[in-house]
Amino acid sequence: MNEKFVKEMVLGTVNKCGSCGHLYEMDNVAVVGREEELWLLMMSCPVCSSRGLVAAVVKDQAKTTAIHNAPDRELQVMKNLEIISTDDVLSVHEFLKEFNGDFISLFNKRQ
C-alpha cells in the first residue's frame, strides 16, 4: 500500500486541527506505525502545535470504493452526537494508561 495514498485518504476525512481548526496539509501527517491493513498516523498542527493520532484500516487500493459526499453525511451524524465531557476524556485517559497498543485485538473484541 502506498503511504501517500493512505495520507490522502486520512486527510480526506480528518482535514483540520480539532483544537484551532487549521487545515492540515500532507506535511502535517506522519505514519508512525503499520500492521498489514492497520495504519497509525500522527497529525501535527503547525499553528497551535497540537497533535493527534489516527488509526485507519485501509484495504487494498483496488478493493477500495469511493464514498461520495461522505463529509455531508458525517456532518449530519456529528450534529446529533453529544458533546464530549470531562468524564469522557478521563475515561479514555484511564483506558490508554493500560492499553498495550494492540488495535487489532481491541477491534476484534467489539465485533
Q: In whole angstroms, what is the distance from residue 86 CA to residue 80 CA?
A: 19
Q: Environment class of residue 85 by beta-carbon count within 10 Å: exposed (0-12), middle (13-18) or buried (19+)? A: exposed
- Report the pLDDT value the prediction gives residue 1, as an integer from 0 to 100: 67
DSSP state at residue 27: G
- Report the pLDDT value the prediction gives residue 28, as an integer from 0 to 100: 95
- Report the pLDDT value the prediction gives residue 76, as an integer from 0 to 100: 73
Q: In whole angstroms, what is the distance from residue 77 CA to residue 31 CA?
A: 28
pTM: predicted TM-score of the whole model, two decimal places: 0.53
* Mode of pairing for the β-strands spanning 51-57 and 29-35: unpaired
Q: In whole angstroms, what is the distance from residue 92 CA to residue 78 CA?
A: 19
pLDDT over threshold 80, residue 65: no
- Report the pLDDT value the prediction gives residue 16, as an integer from 0 to 100: 92
The better pLDDT of the pair 5, 65 is held by: 5
- Report the pLDDT value the prediction gives residue 105, as an integer from 0 to 100: 80
AA letter at 2: N
pLDDT over threshold 70, residue 64: no
Provide mean pLDDT across the span 21-33.
Answer: 94
